[in-house]
Chain A
C-alpha cells in the first residue's frame, strides 16, 4: 500500500528542518462514518505526513437510483422522492421538481396558472427552508471546526422553522408539500403567527451567531486562507450556490433567471469579499451563507407583508396528469446551489427520463482539486464549507 519517495513536491517548512526527509505515502479511508463528512461520504486520501496529496471520493453509499424510480412512478408520486434528495431542504427540492414539470407543461402548450396566493406561500416556505438548511450548515460547520455551542443555537432556530412546517404540512423533514400546480394546503393562522414571530426574532439571533462564530478569532484562523477557490476553477468544476458566490461570482438564479415571483422582491446577492483572508476561502463561503440567511429573512418579510388573502392553493390540474411528448431542462436556486431537472416525456403519466442535476454532486467534485496540498484538518474545514448533503449527491 505504501511507496517510499523523497519529500519534495509538496510544501515543506522553511529553515533548517526543510531538508528532504524520507517519508512514506499513506493511504487512509476518511469515512464513510466520519463525523465531518456529513453523511456517508468516503474519501480515499493519500497523505504524506499530515499533508494530503490526493483525494478521491467514493460515492454510492446512499444510492437509491431515484432516476430509475422516476421512470416507474407518476409525476405526482415522484415528488416524494425529491424530498429524499436534499433532506435538509426538501421544500426547495419539491419546488424545483414541481417547477420543472409545470414549465415543461407550459412549454408544451398546457396552461398552468398557479394562484397568486400559492406563489407567495411557495416563496415564504421555500425561503424558510433555505434558512433552515443554512442553519444546519452553520451549526455543523462550527462542529467540524471544533465549536460545539453554535450547533445548539442553530438547531433551536431550526426547530422553530420545523414547527412552522409541521403546522403547515404535518411533517418535520419529508414534507412533500409542493404539488404540481401549487401547494397542497394553505398556511393556517397559527403557523402564520409563528412565521411573523420568527421574522421579529430572527435578526437578533443572527447577530448572536455572528458574535458566537463569525468573528471568533480561533474560527477565523481555522478558516481564513484555507481551501481557496478562484472563480474560474469554480465555474470549470460546475460549482454553484454559496460555493460559487463565495469565490466572488455574483450568480443567483433568483436574480439572473427569475422564476416564480422572485422579481417582485428586493434583495441582494451576497458574494465573498475576502474580508479576513483571500476571496474564495472557507470563511467567505461560510459568510455568504450567513448573509444569505439575512437576505432570505428580507424576502420572507416582504412576502408576508404582501401576501394576498387566502384563496385557492392549486391550479386546475387534471387528476391523471399527462405531459405531452417533449423535453425540457429547468432549474432553480436551492440552498446548496443550482438544482435542475431534465424531463423527457413520452406523453404518458410517467416521465420517460427524469435526470436530476444536483448541486452538491458538482460541488463535491472540486474536493479533488482543492484537497491537494492541504492538511487533513484543513480538509475537514473545506468539506464543511462546501456544505455537502449525501442524499443529494448519491440520489
Chain B
C-alpha cells in the first residue's frame, strides 16, 4: 500500500518536474528559424557547391584525380599550343562536398562556394557545365609575364 502511494507520488512529481522545465521554456524565445525567410550567416569555411573559375583553370586535372567519387569531368583537345579545354563539368549527383579537389589546385581556381540551395527537378540538371566554347587553358607563368609587361 505504501509502495502504491509512493509510486503514484513519484510518477506525478517527476512528470510535473519535467512539465516545469517545459513551462520555463515557454516564456523564452524560440531557437528555431523560419528557414526560407530567415537565413543564418554562413561561416567562412562553409563547403557549398564547388565552383570553378574557368579563366584561371590550367586544366591540369589534379582536382579530377583527387576526387574520391570521380565527379569532375575534364576533356581536352589538341596538343601543345593548340590545346583547348572543351569540357569542365561537375556532376553534383555524385559530389560529396569533401573539398579534396580544392587542395591540390595550383591556381586555387576551384573553390567551395557558399551556395547550397540548388534544387532542380531533373537529375540531369545537376551536371554543371563550366565551359561552353573551347577555351585556352590558363598559363600562370605567361600570365605573370604579361602582368609584368603591363606594369
A–B proximity contact (CB within 8 A): yes
Residues of A within 8 A of B (CB): 73, 76-78, 80-81, 149, 153, 156, 159, 166-171, 174, 176, 185, 188, 190, 208, 211-213, 215-218, 319
**Alpha-carbon distance between A174 and B7 when the two chains are bound, in angstroms:** 45
Interface string of B31-57 (1 = CB under 8 A from A): 100000000000111110000000000
Q: Is the CB of A170 within 8 A of B15?
A: no
Q: Is the CB of A217 within 8 A of B18?
A: no
Residues of B within 8 A of A80 (CB): 68, 96, 98, 100
How many A-B pairs with Cβ below 8 Å? 67
**Alpha-carbon distance between A81 and B22 when the two chains are bound, in angstroms:** 40
Residues of B within 8 A of A (CB): 7, 10-11, 14-15, 17-18, 21-22, 31, 43-47, 66, 68, 96-100, 104, 112
Check A166/B43 contact, CB under 8 A, given A77-B68, A217-B7.
Answer: yes
Q: Is the CB of B46 within 8 A of A166?
A: yes
**Alpha-carbon distance between A218 and B8 when the two chains are bound, in angstroms:** 10
**Alpha-carbon distance between A211 and B20 when the two chains are bound, in angstroms:** 10
**Alpha-carbon distance between A386 and B149 when the two chains are bound, in angstroms:** 69
Cβ-neighbour of A170 out of B21, B45, B68 (below 8 A): B45
Q: Is the CB of A217 within 8 A of B112?
A: no
Cβ-neighbour of B31 out of A77, A156, A174 (below 8 A): A156
4 extra interface residue pairs, beta carbon distance < 8 Å, beyond A81-B68, A167-B43: A149-B22, A211-B17, A216-B17, A216-B18
**Alpha-carbon distance between A290 and B10 when the two chains are bound, in angstroms:** 21
Q: Is the CB of B68 within 8 A of A174?
A: no
Query: Chain B at the A interface: mostly helix, strand, loop or mixed?
Result: loop
**Alpha-carbon distance between A166 and B47 when the two chains are bound, in angstroms:** 9
Cβ-neighbour of A77 out of B10, B15, B18, B100 (below 8 A): B100
**Alpha-carbon distance between A76 and B100 when the two chains are bound, in angstroms:** 9
Q: Is the CB of B43 within 8 A of A170?
A: yes
Residues of B within 8 A of A215 (CB): 14, 17
Q: For B48, give the chain A residue with the smallest CB separation.
A: A170
- In the complex, how many angstroms separate the beta carbon of B111 from the nearest chain A beta carbon? 12
Q: For B40, give the chain A residue with the smallest CB separation.
A: A163
**Alpha-carbon distance between A202 and B45 when the two chains are bound, in angstroms:** 25
Q: For B46, give the chain A residue with the smallest CB separation.
A: A170
Q: Is the CB of B15 within 8 A of A208?
A: no
- In the complex, how many angstroms separate the beta carbon of A14 from the nearest chain B beta carbon? 19
Residues of A within 8 A of B15 (CB): 216-218
Listed from nearest, the 6 A-B pairs whose CB atoms lie closest are A170-B45, A77-B68, A170-B47, A217-B11, A217-B10, A167-B43
**Alpha-carbon distance between A127 and B97 when the two chains are bound, in angstroms:** 24
- In the complex, how many angstroms separate the beta carbon of B77 from the nearest chain A beta carbon? 29
Q: For A69, give the chain B residue with the smallest CB separation.
A: B68
**Alpha-carbon distance between A373 and B15 when the two chains are bound, in angstroms:** 30
Q: For A72, give the chain B residue with the smallest CB separation.
A: B68
Q: Is the CB of B43 within 8 A of A171?
A: no
Q: For A211, give the chain B residue with the smallest CB separation.
A: B17
Residues of A within 8 A of B112 (CB): 170
9 residue pairs bridging A and B, Cβ less than 8 Å apart: A80-B100, A166-B43, A167-B45, A169-B45, A169-B47, A174-B98, A176-B98, A185-B45, A215-B14
Q: For B20, give the chain A residue with the smallest CB separation.
A: A211
**Alpha-carbon distance between A212 and B21 when the two chains are bound, in angstroms:** 8
Residues of A within 8 A of B44 (CB): 188
Give the one of A76, A212, A319 with max B CB within 10 A. A212
- In the complex, how many angstroms separate the beta carbon of B67 from the nearest chain A beta carbon? 8
**Alpha-carbon distance between A149 and B21 when the two chains are bound, in angstroms:** 10
Residues of B within 8 A of A81 (CB): 68
Residues of A within 8 A of B96 (CB): 80, 174
Q: For B42, give the chain A residue with the smallest CB separation.
A: A166
**Alpha-carbon distance between A149 and B22 when the two chains are bound, in angstroms:** 8
